[in-house]
Amino acid sequence: MRKYSVGAEPGETGTHFRVWAPAARRLEVVERSPTSGAAGKGHVLERSADGYFAGHVAGLRDGHLYSLRLDGQDRLLPDPASRSQPQGPHGPSQIVDPSKYAWSDAGFPGTPERGQVLYELHVGTFTKEGTYEAAADQLGHLVETGVTTLELMPLADFPGEFGWGYDGVGLWAPTRLYGAPDDLRRFIDRAHQAGLAVILDVVYNHLGPDGAYLKSFAPQYFTDRYQNEWGEAINFDGPDAAPVREFFVENARYWLLEYHFDGLRLDATQCLYDASERHIVADISSAAHSSGHLLKKRVYIVAENEPQHAEVSGDPAQGGHGCDALWNDDFHHTARVAATGRREAYYQDYRGAPQELISALRWGYLYQGQYYHWQKKSRGTSALGLGAHQFVTYLQNHDQVANSLDGRRLHQLCDPALWRALTTLWLLAPPTPMLFQGQEFGASAPFHYFADHHPDLARLVSAGRREFLSQFPSVATADAARIPDPGARATFERCKLDHREREQNAELYALHKDLLALRRSDPAFREQREDQLFGAVLGPEALLLRFLCPGAERLLLVNLGTELNLEPAPEPLLAPPGGHEWQLRLCSEDVRYGGTSFVPACDEGRWRLSPRCASLFEARPRASTPHSHERSENDADKTASNPAAQGASGAG
């Protein structure tokens, strides 16, 4: 019995093949030589009325190479659902038997709804070697940092020797560039043994421009009824859409069941065009969560949605699509403006103001239906019903780092003290944080856009990249030579991390570890309770967050500007609980974290906020309560109207 509707599934005596090719009259599986690649014997599959070709081929087993031939043509094609492309997407497909890998992760619980600390990772640049094996050797450091879940950038096979992975074409074949399929399984197995979950970034909104053979088998995979900026839109709601939907839904299940991924990140869901009664994202989310039940663990589905449609993470019973969390670009954009002061291109609708930071951390999207000048239309839908844990926040990610002039990271574009303060605010707030590889130790490696294509396509990609970056005046006016060529191998090589910087930048690394340890252990932060979070603006560049957690009240003061004295300080959220006082717990300007010094911010209720500094206080019982001899504001009025009292006062 088959597990999936398409692809090659090996058994005891051979392999069963199934391919959807509704316009074809004949389809053969052609054996390929493992040494020369020469075509060998062909095996005709049986056609059914629904356009599927299927059949068992005796003798073909794990590791054997094959191709497909349509209608007797000379041209040999890879399987649209190939499980491996050892010679790249244009080469022959390879049979993979997933049962041959012996897993050791039984009982791994998956990804809980709350408590996640995500870590976005590109396997090819995470280490010098750029392999699954080398990446696995760094897992212990990620556990030490406080990471809980790895988010791997796309792995679907793509042409060339390097790339981001968003131009994938072999959607069922993990790219051969980082290792064999079992090397990926071993990496995930080792991650689970270390206590780390692993989710995969999948791209279902388009296929890459080179090496995509789906259309050769069925033009119905695509539609011209929608405009997609990256290529042809996938046909999820038109004629013959049912097999297309099945192909992508089963692909999501495949990564979870056969590779034990603990969830998925769905790329650009706004370009998954679907006017069906039930949206394709809802089908993918439902199938993924059902796969988790089969594996006896909880899976985690994160969605990117640029127009900020909150229903993508809504309850399916109320018309939502059932994803667990959403990327929140709004937080990144306002934090970036706060860090750099630049409001160019798509940052123009953000001021980096304390109010924006508070609102993004409390309510998620800043734009939930208001007018958005950059796009000259309203942006977003109401997300007030979503919890803070349903928003993934970040100060860096692959897109935003690459969209700077030299691929520089945000910590390289702002004052170090300001970066520490923003990091403290971000990592202690309720939303789910995501670090970008190397961020925890202040990596100096840039992250450029890189893609290895044949020369004609490479020239188009390079020109397109320059055109995209021209929306930023700071880039458009710069020397064109400073924009790296995406197709140059040197562009790719410069992005590789140097993990020795973890020791070189030990102070920044210590700050991240301490903040994530607090997030993990302190009840005020651990539960991600947005209903216990309250904020106030203290000045043009200063704010506070008050965590009203019973028995564990916390106060976070953040000043992103110059020194600020709050005297008077008529803000009730500054006051400690009755019978308590504020004691400093952590300060981003501590010398341990690379700061110059820090000054306690509170002296008998008078507050002095150090510049570019975040300070965390916890409420602790006062050692003793002195007798009060203070007079109320009304005492003077009472004295003035009572001569006896006035005399008594004078006699004292």
Give the catalytic positions in this structure: 267, 304
Determine the residue type at 466.
R
Q: Which two tokens stand for residue 170?
A: 């072999």
Interior/surface letters 1-18, b for 16+ CB within 10 angstroms, e for the rest: eeebbbbbbbeeebbbbb
Residue type, 472: F
Q: Kindly report the backbone phi and psi dihedral angles of residue 568, in degrees, each rounded to the nearest multiple of 5, phi listed first.
A: -80, 175
Q: By three-state DSSP, how is residue 398 classified?
A: helix
Burial annotation 371-404 (CB, 10 A radius, 16+ → b, else e): ebeeeeeebbbebeebbbbbbbbbbbbbbbbbbb
Pairing of strands 391-393, 325-327: parallel
CA distance 360 to 366: 6
The packing angle between helices 181-193 and 241-259, to 10°, is 60
Beta-bridged to residue 202, according to DSSP, are 266
Q: Which amino acid is at 27?
A: L
- Find the Cα–Cα–Cα–Cα dihedral 80, 85, 87, 91, rounded to 10°: -20
Helix (H, G, I), strand (E, B) or coil at 174: strand
Quick count: other Cβ atoms within 10 Å of Cβ 468? 13
Whether 202 contacts 248, CB under 8 Å? no
| Distance, C-alpha 420 to centroid of its chain | 21
Task: Give the C-alpha distances (Å, rounded to integers) separating 349 from 372, 470, 631.
Answer: 7, 18, 49
- Chain mean position to CA 548: 29
Task: Of 369, 410, 389, give the one whose Cα is nearest residue 328.
Answer: 389
DSSP string, 342-371: ---GGGTT----HHHHHHHHHHS-S-SSSE
List the end-to-end C-alpha distance of the chain, in Å, as a whole number: 98
What are the residues whose beta carbons fall under 8 Å from the beta carbon of 215, sequence distance 6 or more?
A: 221, 222, 232
Measured CA to CA, the distance from residue 250 to residue 247 in angstroms comes to 5
Euclidean distance between CA atoms 313 and 302, whole angstroms: 8
Closest CA relative to residue 525, chosen from 515, 535, 536, 538: 515
